[in-house]
Amino acid sequence: MKSQLRKKTLEALSALSNEDLLQKTERMYKYLFSLPDWQNASTIAVTISRGLEIPTRPVIEQAWEEEGKQVCIPKCHHDTKKMQFRAYQTDDQLETVYAGLLEPIIEKTKEVNPSQIDLVIVPGVCFDVNGFRIGFGGGYYDRFLSKYQGKSVSLLFECQLFAHVPRLPHDMPVHKLITEDRIISCYS
């Protein structure tokens, strides 16, 4: 079921025109930047997007422009299936790892303790109105969110939103969903 939903959603995302993508993501960013969760956050955790993911570069650049905000990005450890966030300030701190993902270079970045992160922007493919998601299959964010105490949000297009997505007991919801049309508070 998860793989079919993921496939259907990725097909819908592929069908969006560049113009649609640009207009819809601009609206999403406005919603995100207007949130008190964003405005009050000092440290924001976000992935570096690729492929059909919502572009995160504008989010990273906005955080860098705002005084007092720090950006951190994930480093995945495949042997332990854990993820840690590391401070990200310049592109020379990045390396390309498996599957073309950009991750921080450990020697050029410092680790950010999860307790210091105010807002995590969680990626995903499919979402439901309760904040549960189908990601890319690694389970890294669910493991991280199970111990994380701060706020979490996901950016998504309406075509990625469903009434219900299949979930397992270890799946963790996000606090808010932001689409091109609305902000959905999932739980507090």
Whole-angstrom distance, CA of residue 58 vs CA of residue 56:
5
CA 83 centroid distance within chain: 13
* Contacting residues for 136 by C-beta, under 8 A, at least 6 apart: 123, 124, 125
The pLDDT assigned to 188 comes to 45
Give tens-digit pLDDT for 56-93: 999 999 999 999 999 999 999 888 888 999 999 999 99
Give tens-digit pLDDT for 109-122: 999 999 999 999 99
Is residue 19 scored above 90 in pLDDT? yes
* DSSP-derived pairing of the beta strands 82-87 and 70-77: antiparallel
* Contacting residues for 58 by C-beta, under 8 A, at least 6 apart: 25, 29
The answer, as to whether pTM is greater than 0.85, is: yes
Domains of the chain (ranges; CATH) run 2-73+117-185 (3.40.50.10420)
